Amino acid sequence: MAKGKKVVFVIVEGLSDSEALENLINKHFSKNTVYVKVMHCDITTEKGTNSQNILKKVTEVVKTYALSNHFSRSHFQQVIHILDTDGAYIPDENIVFDSKCSSPKYYDEKILTENIDGIKRRNQIKSGCLDVLSRTSLIWSSIKYQAYYMSCNLDHVLYNKRNLTDEDKEKLSSAFANKYKNDLEGFKKFICNNDSIFKQNLTYRESWDFIRNGCNSLKRFSNFGKCFLEQIDD
């Protein structure tokens, strides 16, 4: 790594998420060395994960990457963690049975599923993990950490579409990346200037309080713009 460079380590959930955002994040932090870690899963709902061990699991992701690249904590400027809310905070009564939905389907006021108890358990675990991560400001003792949410997921926020197939996700992420590949300022305008979606009138902590209310974790909201405004507030 070039002398004076710092690592901005970005964790996203899937390949399409990485394709949509990696170039833009790289350009924004161009003075630093940026690495995007693709999880290929939602770490907050992995088997065995809970609110007691989520911080340890995220820290291990960073440590493992550091070890494999001969980095120490001092090489890291910050860790950015982008998470889907997946309706984790909605009331149980808004989880609705539908025998045709072997996979959950997301709408503004409800989740349709053939396994109501399974979604209730998932939401309980995921919301607990999100609560821990949203209150975390340092990871691995000294590395600045921020968790940003996409509601109900990244596709919803960036493309205004939900319940997509993997093929559709790939097509849309590619189109999004191409649209903004030479227009970082255009992307910042999109992600930062629409208060109705991105809630820039709220502080970071207030934005997390907001997404916990009612069915907001199903609706099209995000606090990710704060990452590009380069502000960390209480």
In the predicted model, what is the mean pLDDT of residues 210-226?
95
In the prediction, which pLDDT does 232 show? 42
Q: Which of 27-31, 111-115, 182-186, 204-208 has the highest mean pLDDT?
A: 111-115
Residue with tokens 């394709």: 19
Q: Which of 18-22, 26-30, 218-222 has the highest mean pLDDT?
A: 218-222
Pick the closest to residue 29 from 156, 197, 188 (CA basis). 188
In the prediction, which pLDDT does 184 show? 93
pLDDT at 42 over 50: yes
Full set of structural domains in the chain with CATH = 7-86+121-228 (3.40.50)
Q: 106-152 pLDDT, tens per residue?
A: 999 999 999 999 999 999 999 999 999 999 999 999 999 999 999 99
15: confidence class by pLDDT, cuts 50, 70, 90: confident
Q: Are 82 and 224 in contact (CB under 8 A)?
A: yes
pLDDT at 160 over 80: yes
